[in-house]
A = this chain, B = another copy of it.
C-alpha cells in the first residue's frame, strides 16, 4: 500500500489541479461583458437589416425585397452554421469517453468565437468611416463562422488534452490572428479565397499543430485506454462527417460572387468531394489486412476534397479539374493517417488527436497551390470580360493586374497563412504552458470525468499505470 502511494505521488496523484470552478466562469463572464460593451460602442445593423431599408431601397432603386442579401445568402449561412456546430462538434465525439468534451467545448468556443470575430473582422473590413461603427449583416455572420472554423480546426489537434479555459484563450488569440492574416491575404494581397483553403485551413491547422507541439506530453500513453473509439461514438462522429461533407458546397460558395460565382463554387466543391470519397475508401482498404476499412479514414479523409477546393471553387477550374483535385486529396489525406500521424507523434513530437495535419494542413496547401495555378491560367476567353473582373476583383487600382501576377499573389497568400499559423501557434502555445490553466494530467486526458458530471451508472474505465513492467490498476480509494 505504501508502495502504491509512493507511485501515486510520483506518477499518478500528483496534485494536478483541474478545478475550473473559478477560472471558467470568470473567463466566460468577463469576456461576455466585454463583448457587450464593445458591441454597444461599435456594432450596428447594416442597411439591409436596418428598419430604414424601405428608404434605402428607394434611394438605390431596388424594386424588390428579394434583392436583400438575406435571400441570397441566408440558406448558405445556415448550412455553414450547421457545419460549425454539428459538423465540427460531432466529428469530435469519436473518442469513447470524450464525446461530451468534443461536442460541448466546440459549442462553447464557437459561440464565443463568433462574437469576437464579428468585432475583429468588422474593424478590418466593415468599419463605417462616417460614424466609426461596424455594420453587420448576414455576410458578417458567415464570415464570423468561417473565422471560428479556423479555431475549431486547431482545437482538433488538442482535443482531450487541454482545459476549457485553455480553449477559450486559444480561441481569443486565434480569432485575432485570423483576422489580421485574413486582412493581409484578402485585402492587401487581394488574393481570392472564398472557401478559405489558405485563410482558414492552412492557418488553422498549423496554428493547432504548433500549439500541440509546444504542449507535447511525453507520457500521453498513460491515457492510452481512452484514446480509441466506441462502436456508437464512431457512428456519432459520422453525423459530423456527413453534415460537413454535404454542406461543404455551401461553405465554399457562401461568400462567392452572386449568381454564377456561387453556382460554380457549389458544383466544383460537390464534385471534388465525391472523388475524395472514392480514393479514401480505396486507400483505406489497401492499407489494412484483409482490406478492412478504417472508420477514422472514412470520417476524415473523405472531406479533404472540400478543403482543397477552398480557393479554386469559384474559379473556372472545370468539372474534371475538380474531380482531379478530389482524387489526389483523398489519397494524400488517407496516407497521412496511415503513415504520417504515427511518424509525427514519434519523431516530431506532435500529438495530433484528430489528424488535422491530414485533413486540413496538407489538403489546404494543395488547395492553395491549385488556386494559384488556376488563377494564373485565367484569361478573358475563359471568363469573359466581366466574369474576369467579378471573379478576381480586378477593379480600381488593381485594374491592370494580370492573371499571372494574381497567381503570384495567391502563392504569397499561402506563405502568409503558414507564417501566421506557426508564429501565432508558438506564441499562444507558450502562454498555454503556464501552469495556471487547469489542464488535465497525462493519465486523465481524453476523459470527460475531469470537466463533466457524468451519468451515475456509467462504470468508468479503470486507468492503468505502467510501472516497472507491472500493470497496476489504480484503486481510487487506497490511492490518496
Binding site for B on A (CB under 8 A): 18-25, 28-29, 31-33, 35-37, 39-40, 43-45, 48-55, 57, 64-72, 74-76, 78-79, 81-82, 85-86, 89-90, 93, 96, 99-100, 103-104, 107-108, 111-112, 114-115, 136-138, 141, 164, 228-236, 238-239, 242-243, 245-247, 249-250, 258-260, 262-264, 266-267, 270-271, 273-275, 277-279, 281-283, 285-286, 288-295, 298, 302, 316, 318-320, 323-324, 327, 382-388, 390-391, 451-458
* A39 cross-chain contacts in B, Cβ below 8 A: 271, 319-320, 323
DSSP class of A's interface residues: helix, strand, loop or mixed?
Answer: helix
Partner of A288, one of B21, B50, B54: B21
- CB of B32 within 8 A of CB of A278, answer yes
- Asked if A264 and B45 make an inter-chain contact with CB atoms under 8 angstroms apart, the answer reads yes
The 8 Å CB contact of A52, one of B164, B320, B384, is: B384
A163 to chain B, nearest CB (A): 10
In the bound complex, what is the Cα–Cα distance between A246 and B402 (angstroms)?
A: 42
Min C-beta distance of A34 to chain B, whole Å: 11
Which of B137, B231, B260, B457 is close to A455, meaning CB atoms less than 8 Å apart?
B231
Pairs of residues from A and B, 4 with the lowest C-beta to C-beta distance, nearest first: A21-B291, A51-B387, A53-B260, A65-B259
Q: Could you tell me the distance between the alpha carbons of A327 and B267 in the complex, rounded to whole angstroms?
A: 39
Q: Which residue of B lies closest to A258 (CB)?
A: B65
**Contact status of A451 and B137, CB under 8 A, knowing A72-B66, A99-B235:** no
A264 contacts B51, C-beta separation under 8 Å: yes
Residues of B within 8 A of A64 (CB): 67
Check A274–B67 contact: CB distance below 8 A.
Answer: no
A245, B85: Cβ atoms closer than 8 Å: yes
Partner of A267, one of B138, B275, B316: B138
Residues from chain B with Cβ under 8 Å of A138 in the complex: 263, 266-267
Contacts of A100 in B (CB 8 A): 231, 234-235, 293, 295
Q: Are B263 and A383 in touch, CB under 8 angstroms?
A: no
- Contact of A231 with B111 in the complex, beta carbons under 8 Å: no
| Nearest CB on B from A310, distance (A) | 18
Question: Which among B37, B74, B451 is the interface contact of A292 at CB below 8 angstroms?
Answer: B451
| Chain B residue, CB-CB nearest to A23 | B291
Asked if A78 contacts B246 (CB within 8 A), the reply is: yes
- Which residues of B sit under 8 angstroms from A236, Cβ to Cβ? 232, 235
B66 & A28 in contact (Cβ 8 Å cutoff): no
Question: Is B298's CB under 8 angstroms from A68's CB?
Answer: no
